[in-house]
Chains A and B, each alone.
Chain A
Protein backbone atom coordinates (compact mmCIF):
# COMPACT_ATOMS: atom_id res chain seq x y z
CA UNK A 1 0.00 0.00 0.00
CA UNK A 2 1.00 3.59 -0.22
CA UNK A 3 2.19 6.19 2.22
CA UNK A 4 -1.35 6.92 3.28
CA UNK A 5 -1.64 3.38 4.55
CA UNK A 6 1.62 3.48 6.42
CA UNK A 7 0.21 5.12 9.52
CA UNK A 8 -2.75 2.79 9.47
CA UNK A 9 -0.42 -0.17 9.10
CA UNK A 10 1.64 0.97 12.04
CA UNK A 11 -1.54 1.31 14.11
CA UNK A 12 -2.58 -2.16 13.02
CA UNK A 13 0.78 -3.63 13.99
CA UNK A 14 0.62 -1.89 17.35
CA UNK A 15 -2.83 -3.34 17.91
CA UNK A 16 -1.45 -6.79 17.15
CA UNK A 17 1.41 -6.34 19.56
CA UNK A 18 -1.08 -5.29 22.20
CA UNK A 19 -3.27 -8.28 21.46
CA UNK A 20 -0.24 -10.49 21.89
CA UNK A 21 0.50 -9.09 25.31
CA UNK A 22 -3.10 -9.00 26.42
CA UNK A 23 -3.66 -12.67 25.68
CA UNK A 24 -0.21 -13.74 26.83
CA UNK A 25 0.63 -15.18 23.43
CA UNK A 26 4.14 -15.66 22.12
CA UNK A 27 3.52 -15.32 18.41
CA UNK A 28 0.86 -13.90 16.09
CA UNK A 29 0.77 -13.94 12.28
CA UNK A 30 -1.72 -12.07 10.14
CA UNK A 31 -1.97 -11.58 6.40
CA UNK A 32 -4.26 -8.90 5.02
CA UNK A 33 -5.19 -8.83 1.35
CA UNK A 34 -5.67 -5.33 0.01
CA UNK A 35 -5.82 -6.23 -3.65
CA UNK A 36 -4.58 -8.68 -6.24
CA UNK A 37 -0.90 -8.20 -5.59
CA UNK A 38 -1.00 -5.98 -2.60
CA UNK A 39 -0.98 -7.40 0.88
CA UNK A 40 0.43 -6.85 4.32
CA UNK A 41 1.92 -9.70 6.29
CA UNK A 42 2.73 -9.16 9.92
CA UNK A 43 4.32 -11.55 12.35
CA UNK A 44 4.66 -10.46 15.94
CA UNK A 45 6.87 -12.56 18.20
CA UNK A 46 7.15 -11.82 21.87
CA UNK A 47 9.95 -14.05 23.13
CA UNK A 48 12.45 -12.77 20.63
CA UNK A 49 11.28 -9.21 21.07
CA UNK A 50 10.98 -8.90 17.30
CA UNK A 51 8.26 -7.41 15.22
CA UNK A 52 8.70 -8.24 11.57
CA UNK A 53 6.62 -6.95 8.75
CA UNK A 54 6.68 -7.65 5.06
CA UNK A 55 4.61 -5.83 2.51
CA UNK A 56 4.25 -7.24 -0.98
CA UNK A 57 5.66 -5.17 -3.82
CA UNK A 58 5.20 -2.45 -4.93
CA UNK A 59 4.49 -0.97 -1.52
CA UNK A 60 7.22 0.19 0.82
CA UNK A 61 8.30 -2.09 3.63
CA UNK A 62 7.37 -0.88 7.05
CA UNK A 63 9.87 -1.24 9.84
CA UNK A 64 8.64 -0.96 13.33
CA UNK A 65 10.98 1.19 15.35
CA UNK A 66 10.12 -0.02 18.81
CA UNK A 67 11.53 -3.57 18.86
CA UNK A 68 15.12 -2.51 18.31
CA UNK A 69 15.08 -0.50 21.48
CA UNK A 70 13.19 -3.14 23.40
CA UNK A 71 15.49 -5.92 22.24
CA UNK A 72 18.28 -4.49 24.32
CA UNK A 73 16.08 -4.38 27.40
CA UNK A 74 15.64 -7.29 29.82
CA UNK A 75 13.17 -9.92 28.60
CA UNK A 76 10.30 -9.05 31.00
CA UNK A 77 10.14 -5.62 29.35
CA UNK A 78 8.46 -7.24 26.37
CA UNK A 79 5.08 -6.59 27.95
CA UNK A 80 5.78 -2.89 27.53
CA UNK A 81 6.69 -3.33 23.88
CA UNK A 82 4.32 -0.64 22.75
CA UNK A 83 2.07 1.76 24.47
CA UNK A 84 -1.28 0.13 24.81
CA UNK A 85 -4.31 2.41 24.40
CA UNK A 86 -6.44 -0.25 22.68
CA UNK A 87 -6.17 -2.38 25.79
CA UNK A 88 -7.31 0.42 28.05
CA UNK A 89 -10.72 -0.35 29.58
CA UNK A 90 -11.91 3.12 28.60
CA UNK A 91 -10.80 2.84 24.99
CA UNK A 92 -13.21 3.73 22.21
CA UNK A 93 -12.13 1.75 19.15
CA UNK A 94 -13.03 2.05 15.49
CA UNK A 95 -15.68 -0.40 14.29
CA UNK A 96 -14.57 0.04 10.68
CA UNK A 97 -11.84 1.17 8.31
CA UNK A 98 -12.42 4.78 7.33
CA UNK A 99 -11.74 8.42 8.05
CA UNK A 100 -12.32 9.79 11.53
CA UNK A 101 -13.83 13.19 12.26
CA UNK A 102 -13.87 15.01 15.59
CA UNK A 103 -16.55 17.49 14.48
CA UNK A 104 -19.73 17.30 12.41
CA UNK A 105 -18.22 19.54 9.75
CA UNK A 106 -14.95 21.34 9.07
CA UNK A 107 -14.50 24.29 11.40
CA UNK A 108 -17.33 23.27 13.71
CA UNK A 109 -16.92 22.81 17.45
CA UNK A 110 -15.61 19.28 18.10
CA UNK A 111 -18.06 16.77 19.58
CA UNK A 112 -15.83 16.54 22.64
CA UNK A 113 -12.47 17.76 23.83
CA UNK A 114 -10.04 16.48 26.45
CA UNK A 115 -11.46 16.91 29.92
CA UNK A 116 -15.05 17.00 28.69
CA UNK A 117 -17.70 15.09 30.59
CA UNK A 118 -19.72 12.78 28.36
CA UNK A 119 -22.84 10.73 28.91
CA UNK A 120 -23.29 7.18 27.65
CA UNK A 121 -24.45 7.12 24.05
CA UNK A 122 -23.37 10.67 23.28
CA UNK A 123 -21.69 10.99 19.87
CA UNK A 124 -17.97 11.54 20.37
CA UNK A 125 -16.67 10.88 16.84
CA UNK A 126 -17.73 10.09 13.31
CA UNK A 127 -16.09 7.44 11.14
CA UNK A 128 -16.78 7.80 7.44
CA UNK A 129 -16.57 5.01 4.91
CA UNK A 130 -18.42 4.83 1.58
CA UNK A 131 -20.03 8.16 2.35
CA UNK A 132 -21.65 6.57 5.37
CA UNK A 133 -21.23 8.71 8.45
CA UNK A 134 -21.07 6.33 11.38
CA UNK A 135 -21.71 8.18 14.63
CA UNK A 136 -19.62 6.64 17.38
CA UNK A 137 -21.17 6.97 20.84
CA UNK A 138 -19.44 7.08 24.20
CA UNK A 139 -19.64 3.51 25.54
CA UNK A 140 -20.04 4.86 29.06
CA UNK A 141 -20.42 8.07 30.96
CA UNK A 142 -17.15 9.63 32.01
CA UNK A 143 -14.43 12.09 31.18
CA UNK A 144 -12.51 12.27 27.92
CA UNK A 145 -8.94 11.55 29.02
CA UNK A 146 -7.20 11.20 25.70
CA UNK A 147 -7.89 11.74 22.01
CA UNK A 148 -5.62 9.44 20.05
CA UNK A 149 -6.31 10.51 16.49
CA UNK A 150 -6.29 13.68 14.43
CA UNK A 151 -9.37 15.03 12.75
CA UNK A 152 -9.60 13.73 9.19
CA UNK A 153 -7.05 10.96 9.60
CA UNK A 154 -7.46 7.40 8.30
CA UNK A 155 -8.19 4.68 10.86
CA UNK A 156 -8.09 0.90 10.77
CA UNK A 157 -10.59 -1.52 12.22
CA UNK A 158 -10.08 -1.77 15.97
CA UNK A 159 -7.83 1.27 16.17
CA UNK A 160 -8.03 3.07 19.53
CA UNK A 161 -9.59 6.50 19.02
CA UNK A 162 -10.23 7.94 22.43
CA UNK A 163 -9.98 7.10 26.13
CA UNK A 164 -13.03 7.80 28.28
CA UNK A 165 -12.95 6.93 31.95
Chain B
Protein backbone atom coordinates (compact mmCIF):
# COMPACT_ATOMS: atom_id res chain seq x y z
CA UNK B 1 0.00 0.00 0.00
CA UNK B 2 1.10 3.56 -0.69
CA UNK B 3 2.91 5.28 2.15
CA UNK B 4 4.02 8.88 2.57
CA UNK B 5 6.43 9.75 5.34
CA UNK B 6 6.69 13.41 6.30
CA UNK B 7 9.38 14.71 8.67
CA UNK B 8 6.88 17.23 10.00
CA UNK B 9 3.23 17.94 9.28
CA UNK B 10 0.48 20.04 10.83
CA UNK B 11 -1.82 17.05 11.20
CA UNK B 12 -1.80 13.76 9.34
CA UNK B 13 -5.60 13.91 9.10
CA UNK B 14 -5.36 17.38 7.55
CA UNK B 15 -2.71 16.13 5.12
CA UNK B 16 -4.92 13.18 4.22
CA UNK B 17 -7.82 15.53 3.50
CA UNK B 18 -5.55 17.55 1.19
CA UNK B 19 -4.44 14.37 -0.59
CA UNK B 20 -7.95 12.94 -0.85
CA UNK B 21 -8.73 14.32 -4.28
CA UNK B 22 -5.50 13.17 -5.94
CA UNK B 23 -5.15 9.74 -4.32
CA UNK B 24 -7.44 7.14 -5.83
CA UNK B 25 -6.32 4.23 -3.68
CA UNK B 26 -5.69 3.91 0.03
CA UNK B 27 -2.58 5.54 1.46
CA UNK B 28 -0.89 5.78 4.84
CA UNK B 29 0.39 9.23 5.79
CA UNK B 30 3.02 9.05 8.54
CA UNK B 31 4.16 12.23 10.25
CA UNK B 32 7.29 12.04 12.39
CA UNK B 33 6.00 15.02 14.30
CA UNK B 34 2.81 17.06 14.17
CA UNK B 35 2.69 20.79 14.72
CA UNK B 36 -1.11 20.92 14.96
CA UNK B 37 -2.13 17.44 16.07
CA UNK B 38 -5.66 17.22 17.36
CA UNK B 39 -8.07 14.85 19.00
CA UNK B 40 -11.82 14.72 19.39
CA UNK B 41 -13.61 18.08 19.34
CA UNK B 42 -10.46 19.98 18.43
CA UNK B 43 -8.49 19.08 21.56
CA UNK B 44 -4.77 19.37 20.92
CA UNK B 45 -2.81 16.13 20.61
CA UNK B 46 0.72 16.85 21.77
CA UNK B 47 2.93 15.40 19.05
CA UNK B 48 6.68 15.44 19.68
CA UNK B 49 9.14 13.36 17.66
CA UNK B 50 9.36 9.70 18.59
CA UNK B 51 5.66 8.97 18.96
CA UNK B 52 3.41 7.61 16.23
CA UNK B 53 1.13 9.86 14.16
CA UNK B 54 -0.39 8.37 11.06
CA UNK B 55 -3.56 8.52 9.01
CA UNK B 56 -4.99 5.93 6.71
CA UNK B 57 -6.73 7.67 3.82
CA UNK B 58 -9.33 5.67 1.98
CA UNK B 59 -12.39 6.13 -0.21
CA UNK B 60 -15.09 3.83 1.15
CA UNK B 61 -18.32 3.34 -0.75
CA UNK B 62 -20.73 2.45 2.03
CA UNK B 63 -23.25 4.75 3.70
CA UNK B 64 -21.80 7.06 6.40
CA UNK B 65 -23.09 4.99 9.34
CA UNK B 66 -21.35 1.90 7.97
CA UNK B 67 -18.17 3.80 7.18
CA UNK B 68 -18.06 4.95 10.82
CA UNK B 69 -17.83 1.34 12.00
CA UNK B 70 -14.21 1.37 10.86
CA UNK B 71 -13.64 3.05 14.19
CA UNK B 72 -13.74 -0.44 15.69
CA UNK B 73 -11.66 -2.01 12.92
CA UNK B 74 -8.97 0.58 13.60
CA UNK B 75 -9.02 0.04 17.36
CA UNK B 76 -8.75 -3.72 16.94
CA UNK B 77 -5.95 -3.41 14.38
CA UNK B 78 -4.05 -1.09 16.67
CA UNK B 79 -4.42 -3.55 19.51
CA UNK B 80 -3.34 -6.39 17.19
CA UNK B 81 -0.18 -4.50 16.28
CA UNK B 82 0.62 -3.72 19.92
CA UNK B 83 0.04 -7.29 21.06
CA UNK B 84 2.22 -8.49 18.16
CA UNK B 85 5.07 -6.23 19.19
CA UNK B 86 4.90 -6.81 22.93
CA UNK B 87 3.54 -10.35 23.17
CA UNK B 88 1.30 -9.11 26.00
CA UNK B 89 -2.34 -9.73 25.01
CA UNK B 90 -3.69 -9.09 28.50
CA UNK B 91 -2.10 -5.67 28.80
CA UNK B 92 -4.21 -3.94 26.13
CA UNK B 93 -7.89 -3.08 26.40
CA UNK B 94 -10.27 -0.97 24.35
CA UNK B 95 -12.24 2.00 25.62
CA UNK B 96 -15.38 2.83 23.66
CA UNK B 97 -15.24 3.45 20.86
CA UNK B 98 -11.59 3.28 19.91
CA UNK B 99 -9.05 4.28 22.57
CA UNK B 100 -6.41 1.68 23.32
CA UNK B 101 -5.47 1.34 26.98
CA UNK B 102 -2.23 -0.14 28.28
CA UNK B 103 -2.30 -1.27 31.91
CA UNK B 104 -5.40 0.90 32.25
CA UNK B 105 -3.73 4.09 30.96
CA UNK B 106 -4.42 5.85 27.67
CA UNK B 107 -1.77 4.74 25.20
CA UNK B 108 -3.41 5.67 21.94
CA UNK B 109 -6.26 7.60 20.37
CA UNK B 110 -8.03 7.36 17.06
CA UNK B 111 -9.97 10.11 15.30
CA UNK B 112 -11.82 9.43 12.09
CA UNK B 113 -12.90 12.22 9.78
CA UNK B 114 -15.01 11.89 6.70
CA UNK B 115 -16.44 14.25 4.17
CA UNK B 116 -18.91 13.60 1.43
CA UNK B 117 -21.80 14.82 -0.62
CA UNK B 118 -25.37 13.65 -0.98
CA UNK B 119 -25.26 11.04 1.75
CA UNK B 120 -22.10 9.43 0.37
CA UNK B 121 -18.65 9.49 1.91
CA UNK B 122 -16.05 11.03 -0.37
CA UNK B 123 -13.07 10.09 1.74
CA UNK B 124 -12.30 8.74 5.17
CA UNK B 125 -9.23 9.65 7.21
CA UNK B 126 -8.45 7.30 10.08
CA UNK B 127 -6.00 9.19 12.28
CA UNK B 128 -4.06 7.18 14.84
CA UNK B 129 -1.80 8.50 17.56
CA UNK B 130 0.28 6.24 19.81
CA UNK B 131 2.48 7.31 22.71
CA UNK B 132 5.46 5.17 21.78
CA UNK B 133 8.14 6.88 23.87
CA UNK B 134 6.46 9.72 25.71
CA UNK B 135 3.05 10.66 27.08
CA UNK B 136 1.59 14.06 27.91
CA UNK B 137 1.83 15.29 31.48
CA UNK B 138 -1.16 13.79 33.37
CA UNK B 139 -1.82 17.28 34.75
CA UNK B 140 -2.72 18.43 31.23
CA UNK B 141 -5.58 15.96 30.77
CA UNK B 142 -9.11 16.61 31.83
CA UNK B 143 -10.02 15.62 35.41
CA UNK B 144 -11.59 12.18 35.37
CA UNK B 145 -9.97 11.23 32.08
CA UNK B 146 -7.77 8.16 31.80
CA UNK B 147 -4.14 9.03 32.58
CA UNK B 148 -1.84 8.94 29.55
CA UNK B 149 0.95 6.36 29.38
CA UNK B 150 3.62 5.42 26.84
CA UNK B 151 4.81 2.07 25.57
CA UNK B 152 8.32 2.90 26.74
CA UNK B 153 7.29 3.92 30.24
CA UNK B 154 5.01 0.96 30.81
CA UNK B 155 6.90 -1.85 29.12
CA UNK B 156 10.38 -0.50 28.52
CA UNK B 157 10.09 -1.21 24.82
CA UNK B 158 11.35 1.27 22.23
CA UNK B 159 9.74 1.13 18.79
CA UNK B 160 10.19 3.61 15.94
CA UNK B 161 7.17 5.09 14.16
CA UNK B 162 8.24 3.48 10.88
CA UNK B 163 8.58 0.04 12.49
CA UNK B 164 5.22 0.51 14.16
CA UNK B 165 3.56 1.30 10.84
CA UNK B 166 5.11 -1.88 9.41
CA UNK B 167 3.03 -3.75 12.00
CA UNK B 168 -0.08 -1.62 11.93
CA UNK B 169 -0.66 -1.41 8.18
CA UNK B 170 -1.05 -5.18 7.64
CA UNK B 171 -2.99 -5.52 10.90
CA UNK B 172 -5.48 -2.95 9.66
CA UNK B 173 -5.67 -4.61 6.24
CA UNK B 174 -6.68 -7.89 7.92
CA UNK B 175 -9.45 -6.27 9.99
CA UNK B 176 -10.65 -4.28 6.97
CA UNK B 177 -10.89 -7.45 4.88
CA UNK B 178 -13.05 -9.13 7.50
CA UNK B 179 -15.25 -6.05 7.80
CA UNK B 180 -15.78 -5.84 4.03
CA UNK B 181 -16.43 -9.56 3.73
CA UNK B 182 -18.47 -10.31 6.88
CA UNK B 183 -19.73 -6.95 8.09
CA UNK B 184 -19.68 -5.57 11.61
CA UNK B 185 -20.67 -8.70 13.57
CA UNK B 186 -17.17 -10.25 13.86
CA UNK B 187 -15.64 -6.86 14.68
CA UNK B 188 -18.25 -6.29 17.35
CA UNK B 189 -17.57 -9.66 18.92
CA UNK B 190 -13.81 -9.14 18.87
CA UNK B 191 -14.15 -5.63 20.24
CA UNK B 192 -16.37 -6.76 23.13
CA UNK B 193 -13.82 -9.47 24.01
CA UNK B 194 -11.29 -6.72 24.77
CA UNK B 195 -13.60 -4.00 26.09
CA UNK B 196 -12.59 -2.11 29.22
CA UNK B 197 -15.21 -1.82 32.00
CA UNK B 198 -17.80 -4.03 30.32
CA UNK B 199 -20.53 -4.76 32.89
CA UNK B 200 -19.35 -1.93 35.10
CA UNK B 201 -20.79 1.51 35.77
CA UNK B 202 -19.42 4.23 33.49
CA UNK B 203 -20.31 7.76 32.47
CA UNK B 204 -20.87 8.98 28.92
CA UNK B 205 -20.72 12.68 28.20
CA UNK B 206 -22.43 13.79 25.03
CA UNK B 207 -22.68 17.24 23.52
CA UNK B 208 -25.26 18.44 26.00
CA UNK B 209 -25.39 16.01 28.94
CA UNK B 210 -23.75 13.24 30.94
CA UNK B 211 -25.41 9.85 31.35
CA UNK B 212 -24.49 7.14 33.82
CA UNK B 213 -25.23 3.46 33.61
CA UNK B 214 -23.81 -0.01 33.43
CA UNK B 215 -21.85 -0.59 30.24
CA UNK B 216 -23.89 -3.47 28.91
CA UNK B 217 -22.71 -3.91 25.33
CA UNK B 218 -22.36 -2.19 21.98
CA UNK B 219 -25.26 -2.60 19.59
CA UNK B 220 -25.33 -3.52 15.91
CA UNK B 221 -24.68 0.11 14.97
CA UNK B 222 -21.67 0.30 17.29
CA UNK B 223 -23.49 2.51 19.80
CA UNK B 224 -22.58 2.30 23.46
CA UNK B 225 -25.44 0.69 25.40
CA UNK B 226 -25.90 1.79 29.00
CA UNK B 227 -28.31 -0.04 31.28
CA UNK B 228 -30.14 2.35 33.56
CA UNK B 229 -32.84 1.84 36.16
CA UNK B 230 -35.55 2.86 33.69
CA UNK B 231 -34.25 1.13 30.59
CA UNK B 232 -31.40 1.13 28.13
CA UNK B 233 -29.73 4.02 26.45
CA UNK B 234 -27.90 3.64 23.12
CA UNK B 235 -25.36 6.39 22.58
CA UNK B 236 -23.73 6.90 19.17
CA UNK B 237 -21.34 9.68 20.20
CA UNK B 238 -19.86 10.48 23.61
CA UNK B 239 -16.75 10.82 25.69
CA UNK B 240 -16.59 7.93 28.14
CA UNK B 241 -15.38 8.34 31.73
CA UNK B 242 -14.73 5.55 34.20
Residues of A within 8 A of B (CB): 1-2, 4-5, 34-35, 38, 57-60, 95-101, 104-106, 108, 121, 123, 127-135, 137, 139, 150-154, 157
Given known A1-B231, A2-B231, A153-B208, contact A135–B236 (CB-CB < 8 A): no
Q: Report the Cα distance A108→B41, complex, angstroms.
A: 10
B116 within 8 A of A: yes
B114 within 8 A of A: yes
Chain A residues, CB < 8 A from B121: 134
How many A-B contacts are there with CB distance less than 8 Å?
137
Interface residues on B, range: 35 or more
Cβ B237 vs Cβ A134 within 8 A: no
B63 within 8 A of A: yes
Q: Report the Cα distance A2→B229, complex, angstroms.
A: 10
How distant is A142 from chain B, measured CB to nearest CB, in Å?
15
Cβ B232 vs Cβ A99 within 8 A: no
How distant is A132 from chain B, measured CB to nearest CB, in Å?
4
Cβ B111 vs Cβ A133 within 8 A: yes
B18 within 8 A of A: no
Given known A95-B64, A132-B71, contact A123–B234 (CB-CB < 8 A): no
B69 within 8 A of A: yes
Indicate the member of A1, A60, A128, A153 with the most B CB atoms within 10 Å. Answer: A128
Residues of B within 8 A of A (CB): 40-43, 63-65, 67-72, 97-98, 110-119, 121, 124, 206-209, 211, 219, 221-223, 225, 228, 230-238
Cβ A152 vs Cβ B206 within 8 A: yes
A100, A130, A133, A150: the one contacting B72 at CB < 8 Å is A130
Chain B residues, CB < 8 A from A134: 64, 68, 113-116, 121
Q: Report the Cα distance A165→B212, complex, angstroms.
A: 41
- A-B CB contact pairs (8 Å), 9 listed: A4-B206, A5-B233, A34-B234, A35-B232, A130-B69, A133-B112, A137-B115, A154-B237, A157-B65
Cβ B232 vs Cβ A34 within 8 A: yes
Cβ B237 vs Cβ A108 within 8 A: no
- Name B217's closest neighbour in chain A (CB-CB): A35
Cβ A1 vs Cβ B232 within 8 A: yes
Q: Report the Cα distance A123→B207, complex, angstroms.
A: 19
Given known A105-B43, A134-B68, contact A123–B230 (CB-CB < 8 A): no
- Name A57's closest neighbour in chain B (CB-CB): B231
B113, B117, B231: the one contacting A137 at CB < 8 Å is B117
Cβ A108 vs Cβ B42 within 8 A: yes
Q: Report the Cα distance A95→B114, complex, angstroms.
A: 12
How distant is A109 from chain B, measured CB to nearest CB, in Å?
12
Cβ A121 vs Cβ B117 within 8 A: yes
In the complex, the 8 A-B pairs of residues with the closest C-beta atoms, listed nearest first: A152-B207, A105-B42, A132-B68, A99-B237, A132-B112, A130-B71, A135-B115, A128-B237
- Name A150's closest neighbour in chain B (CB-CB): B208
Given known A4-B209, A4-B233, A105-B43, contact A129–B222 (CB-CB < 8 A): yes
Indicate the member of A101, A105, A131, A135 with the most B CB atoms within 10 Å. Answer: A131
How distant is A100 from chain B, measured CB to nearest CB, in Å?
8
Q: Report the Cα distance A95→B121, complex, angstroms.
A: 10
Q: Report the Cα distance A111→B183, complex, angstroms.
A: 34
How distant is A94 from chain B, measured CB to nearest CB, in Å?
9
How distant is B14 from chain A, measured CB to nearest CB, in Å?
12
Chain B residues, CB < 8 A from A127: 64
How distant is B195 from chain A, measured CB to nearest CB, in Å?
14
How distant is B221 from chain A, measured CB to nearest CB, in Å?
7
B97, B98, B113, B208: the one contacting A133 at CB < 8 Å is B113
Chain A residues, CB < 8 A from B117: 121, 137, 139
